[in-house]
Amino acid sequence: MMVTIGAKQLEMGGRYLTELRDANSLLGDPAALKQRLEEDGYLLIRGFHDREQVLRAREEILQRLQRDGKLAPDTEAAEARIGPDNKGAFWGGVNDSFPAFREVVDSPRTMGFFAGLLGGEVITYDYKWLRAIPNGGNTGAHYDIVYMGAGTPNLYTLWTPFGDTPIDMGTLCILLGSHRWDRVIATYGKMDVDRDKTEGWFSKDPIELVDKFGGQWATTSFQAGDAILFGMYTMHASTVNVTPHMRISCDTRYQLASEPADARWVGRNPVYQGPTNVRPMEEARKQWNLI
């Protein structure tokens, strides 16, 4: 199977791309989960959320997309068929108007999982990155620390697809081994998009990254309920949505309550402005000697 990441086609099972492995056999053993997270840079958990709850949230989001004219006319919202304008949506913020969605990402099950993993009371950032990705939509390779590094580095991203999501609809990809790229962590990993007014994506080319820095990309098909979590220094991207169906997903953040949080993403009204006059990543990489 060929998989599209950025502008490149990668063969599943070839040199550049493999399958993610799940960590379900370690559930209930926080020390083993933590060790796996340190080794792999991510944890894929099948059935992390209650599937029915995820599907209720999906329905809520699809109804909004339909009201907003983003779905194909005269089709059932449940099909998630992208409208003729091929426009997606990004809802960044607290997202109170999606109560069924909030029930999933703030659920006692989710918070309890992170409390067990991190060994104490946890908080989730109020800002939620909820996305409906149209055909052709995708995310370039980056570390999350460059967007949310003003608090603790012991912060975790949880990526949840809202619906069964095959690889060709746009799934989360991990660059295996990238959480140990010391030179990249010491340069790009110290950057902040706002403070340094620099582009956040490290690369749009998945092959260039593997050829220059090593590792291998990994992704998988997700079922509603599955989720993947990873740390701030794990390079990740998404496959391109090459289907006529909207990919719906959200990324949310969790950390120990006792550690400092990045104020940009906390509170009733966290509104992300984004920097202006951004420096191209190519320029920054030249300066760091990472070309």
Ligand X SMILES: O=C(O)CCC(=O)C(=O)O
Q: Which two tokens stand for residue 165?
A: 């999501």
When asked if residue 251 is in the footprint of ligand X (CB under 6 A), the reply is: yes
* CB-nearer residue toward ligand X: 110 or 139: 139
Name which of 252, 276, 251, 272 is nearest 263 in CA terms: 272
Task: List binders of ligand X among 137-166 (CB under 6 A).
Answer: 139, 144, 157, 159
**Long-range contacts at 261-264 (CB < 8 A, ≥ 24 apart):** 261/123, 261/125, 261/151, 261/152, 262/125, 262/148, 262/149, 262/150, 262/151, 262/155, 263/150, 263/151, 264/127, 264/148, 264/150, 264/194
- Per DSSP, what are the bridge partners of residue 130? 91, 250
* Options 124, 238, 241, 255; binder of ligand X; rule CB under 6 A: 238
Show the site string, 189-228: x = touches ligand X by CB under 6 A, - = not: ----------------------------------------
Residue 83 or 140: the one with the smaller Cβ distance to ligand X is 140
Tell me how many residues contact ligand X (CB under 6 A): 9
Cβ at position 288, least distance to ligand X in Å: 21
Q: How far is the CB of 160 from ligand X (least distance, A)?
A: 9
C-beta closer to ligand X: residue 198 or 249: 249
d(C-alpha 130, C-alpha 124), whole Å: 14
249 binds ligand X (CB under 6 A): yes
CA angle 135, 140, 144 (to 5 degrees): 125
Q: Which residues bind ligand X (CB under 6 A)?
A: 131, 139, 144, 157, 159, 236, 238, 249, 251
